[in-house]
Amino acid sequence: MLLKDKIALVTGAGRGLGRAIAIAYARQGARVIAVSRTESELAATAAMIRGEGGRVDLLPLDLAQDAAVRQMVAHTLAAYGRVDVAVNNAGRLPRLTLEEMTMENFDRTMAVNLRAPVLTCKLLLPAMKAQGGGSIINVSSAAGVKGFLQETDYCASKFGLEGFSWALALEVQPYNIAVNVVTPGGGKTRVPIKPTSMTQAQFEALPETEKARWGDPIVMTECFVYLARQDGRGVTGRRFQANELSERIREEGWHLTP
């Protein structure tokens, strides 16, 4: 098992890519702390993990609130004394034009997509330094490098997350901590995954023909397992497309140098 006994924190783990990452980490032997706002979606993630003999803790929290982020980190450190891998995946995508968007909409998008990852990293940093290293993986989007219609707040949050990640990678490399950015997509085999804004309940209500359009994001999780194994002496300060790196791992093995 590639992540045996690692402590892995995964936000947005109730559905989609976050759920797939949590399952992949548990399959590789990690103890997963799965975080999401929707308790029923978290319960489904836990059932999948535990059904395969994996280990998972559930934290139903709304990461738009600083107090919830602090609770998440405090629980994890109190329970296990360390965090080896932190995946900041939780996000929101309201799809509003600037005219339609209220500043309350903007503040919530920035709180979930940018402020929560920044605060999570800030709170985890002393523990990661004390334990001698770790891996931080921030999930971005194509919206982190170019603009899209009806995504003014989302693009702003993802551009910010990417800039934060590059700066943080420089700061923490001396402490043997890796910081990398991953965006879904890339590769020879396109695997469209459900939009960030689509809940699991909304997905389940779709016709079967519509559901079939969306791929299972588990096929791009080798990328996240690979990066979870990195530290400041390995791959850090990089941006990867999840499909592309996962395909390379399947073709070349776990010891590739991307």
Residue 234 within a domain: yes
Q: For residue 170, what pLDDT is reported? A: 98
Query: What are the distances in angstroms from CA 171 to CA 8, 178, 220?
Result: 22, 10, 28
Q: What percent of the chain has pLDDT over 70?
A: 88
Nearest by Cα to 44 from 19, 63, 65:
19
Residue at 122 is within a domain: yes
**Is 154 annotated as catalytic?**
yes
Alpha carbon distance 256, 88 (integer Å): 24
Overall number of domains in the chain: 1
Catalytic entry in 25, 80, 154, 226: 154
Report CA torsion sign: 60, 64, 69, 70: negative
Q: Is residue 151 helix, strand or coil? A: strand
Spatial distance between the Cα atoms of 109 and 191, rounded to a whole number of angstroms? 25
In a domain, 258, yes or no: no
Does residue 221 lie within any of the structural domains? yes
Q: What's the pLDDT score for residue 218?
A: 80
Q: Dump pLDDT digits (tens) for 141-172.
A: 989 999 889 999 999 999 999 999 999 999 99
pLDDT band at 211 (very low <50, low <70, confident <90, very high): very low
For residue 164, the surrounding DSSP H or E stretch is helix 152-172
Alpha-carbon span 223 to 184, nearest angstrom:
10
Distance CA 218, CA 229 (A): 18
Residue 100 domain flag: yes
User: Per the domain annotation, does 257 fall within a domain?
Assistant: no
The token pair at 70 is 């602090």
Q: Does 2 reside within a domain?
A: no
Q: What is the CATH number of the domain that holds 192?
A: 3.40.50.720
Paired tokens of 94: 């309201």
The predicted model scores a pTM of 0.91
Residue 1 lies in a domain: no
Are 202 and 152 in contact, with CB atoms under 8 Å apart?
Answer: no
Asked whether the predicted pLDDT for residue 212 surpasses 60, the reply is: no
Q: Which domain holds residue 172?
A: 7-252
For residues 69 and 64, give the distance between their C-alpha atoms in angstroms, rounded to a whole number. Answer: 8
